[in-house]
Amino acid sequence: MADEYDAFITEETIEGDAEGRLAGTTVAVKDNISTAGVRTTCGSEMLADYVPPYSATVVERLTDAGATIVGKTNMDEFGMGTTTETSAFGPTRNPIDPERVPGGSSGGSAAAVAAGEADVALGSDTGGSVRCPAAFCGVVGIKPTYGLVSRYGLVAYANSLEQIGPIAGTVEEAAEALSVIAGPDPNDGTTRDPTDAEDADATVPEGGYAAAADGDVDGLTVGVPTELFEGADERVVETVEAAIADLEAQGAETIEVSLPSVEHAVQAYYVIATSEASSNLARFDGVRYGHRAEGDGNWNESFAETREAFGAEVKRRILLGTYALSAGYHDKYYAKAQDAREWVRRDFDDAFEDVDVIASPTMPVLPFELGESLDDPLRMYLADANTTPANLANLPAISVPAGEADGLPVGLQLVGPKFDEATVIRAASAVEDR
């Protein structure tokens, strides 16, 4: 069974230490996370032959904890996509239904876990890229609070939004991997020790996050925002509502909450993410690393010709970001998107005055068929409606299987207060226990 779903771009083993809390665990790593000596392509022709001279902090932490890296997983090019179809290495198929996409952009990571080719996988989540494929493949995915996990060695797409997060078959396994990769890193100035964060009500359970996966939701208050159910596929809504009813049966209390700002989340996300991408991806000039075109034109011509190798979705986002930041449009798009981001943050803050976690469908749709949405970028962007708010608000979020609809997996998303990973893990473990 050699990678029948094309989950991997490179299958190569990096042995971990003999002992540690992840000894005997196999881990697949998304191909935008640097691995010393093992090529790291970002799903792009631009980096098809790029071999990093150093490893990401998360990779060092995994191997130090005894994990064995089994390969680098397929992804939407530079993380830009919701289906893993924009990869220069071809699409990954969903192990639950090979005619459908695995979600994205960490589709290879979720597919590798769903197919049993790795116990755990790392993805990166800028606007839902861990949670979406976890939902579509019927596995668990965690997007940590911004600053909990080091981004050192993650090839940047939109720095202010993204976090590396684990994907696994169970909440407990994902939580254990999170414990290993979490924590401050001098090489990433945005990382923080959650117990030092004065503005956060953070408790890290003794023994790590896996200890929070005890299924005990008695007395927990779950907020249900109408805005994240409106417009979703009915089959998805029914499945998620049944799972929430089961949480009530286990002693949780549910109350309706309102998050009016989230109607602007996708707009704000795409303006901010493409703006940051247009700056970040300027580094791919063919001089220091990566593909370089053969032409012998001057600097500007050579630069533009080299960058013709980006795929269409990456070009679209670089151009949209360049446009949004250009003189005359900056205030209209970028500044307003930052206002919307602040609004989303305040909405969640207000909601967490009354509730412990917020529950919704992870994805408003069932997994797309292969090829279904590639020609319609706006339709693909709108599928990120429920996942982007957590990135804009820097909050922890998890996707856990809620059940199936028409034989396809449905994910339930739980969002918690800043650095309160323990509560979303606890609530998610009750969803999978039912």
Judged by CB under 8 A, the residue of 1, 2, 18, 328 near other proteins is 328
Encoding tokens for residue 431?
């969803």
- Residue 49 exposure: Cα atoms within 13 Å on the Cβ side: 6
Judged by CB under 8 A, the residue of 90, 319, 350, 354 near other proteins is 319
Residues 6+ apart with CB under 8 A from 407: 96, 97
Contact mark string toward other proteins, 36..75, x via CB under 8 A: -------------xxx-xx---------------------
Number of shown-chain residues binding other proteins (CB under 8 A): 66
Binding segment toward other proteins, per CB under 8 A, in 96-104, 209-217, 234-242, 337-345: 337-345
* For other proteins, the closer CB: 186 or 219: 186
- Compute φ and ψ for 308, nearest 5 degrees: -65, -20
Establish if 160 lies at the interface with other proteins (CB under 8 A): no
CB 410 within 8 A of CB 400: no
Judged by CB under 8 A, the residue of 1, 2, 18, 378 near other proteins is 378
* For other proteins, the closer CB: 351 or 410: 351
Is 30 catalytic? The answer is yes
Which secondary structure element, helix H or strand E, spans residue 254, and what is its range?
Answer: strand 253-257
Number of other residues whose CB lies within 10 A of the CB of residue 235: 15
Helices 171-181 and 57-64: crossing angle in degrees, nearest 10, is: 110
Judged by CB under 8 A, the residue of 346, 350, 371, 406 near other proteins is 346
Is 261 catalytic? The answer is no
Establish if 338 lies at the interface with other proteins (CB under 8 A): yes
Is 105 catalytic? The answer is yes
SS3 249: helix
* For other proteins, the closer CB: 249 or 287: 287
Residues 6+ apart with CB under 8 A from 132: 82, 103, 104, 105, 362, 363, 383, 384, 387, 399
Q: How far is the CB of 232 from other proteins (least distance, A)?
A: 18
Binding segment toward other proteins, per CB under 8 A, in 126-134, 249-257, 300-308, 425-433: 300-308
CA dist 51 and 281 (Å) reads 18
Q: How far is the CB of 275 from other proteins (least distance, A)?
A: 12
Establish if 245 lies at the interface with other proteins (CB under 8 A): no
Residues 6+ apart with CB under 8 A from 317: 80, 273, 274, 277, 278
Q: How far is the CB of 16 from other proteins (least distance, A)?
A: 23
Of 34, 87, 105, 179, which is the active-site residue? 105
- Residue 426 exposure: Cα atoms within 13 Å on the Cβ side: 22
In 74-182, the DSSP E strands lie at: 120-125, 140-143, 163-168
SS3 150: coil
* Sheet of 357-361, strand order: 8-10, 68-73, 26-30, 120-125, 163-168, 140-143, 397-405, 408-415, 357-361, 221-225, 253-257
Judged by CB under 8 A, the residue of 64, 218, 248, 339 near other proteins is 339
CB 113 within 8 A of CB 119: yes
Of 44, 109, 129, 261, which is the active-site residue? 129
Binding segment toward other proteins, per CB under 8 A, in 16-24, 107-115, 123-131, 299-307: 299-307
- Binding to other proteins in span 172-211, by CB under 8 A: 186, 189-190, 199
- Show which residues are catalytic: 30, 105, 129
Write out the residues near other proteins by the rule CB under 8 A: 49-51, 53-54, 186, 189-190, 199, 261, 263-264, 267-268, 270-271, 278, 282, 285-292, 296-305, 307-308, 310, 312, 315-316, 318-320, 322-323, 326-329, 331-333, 336-340, 342-343, 345-346, 377-378, 381
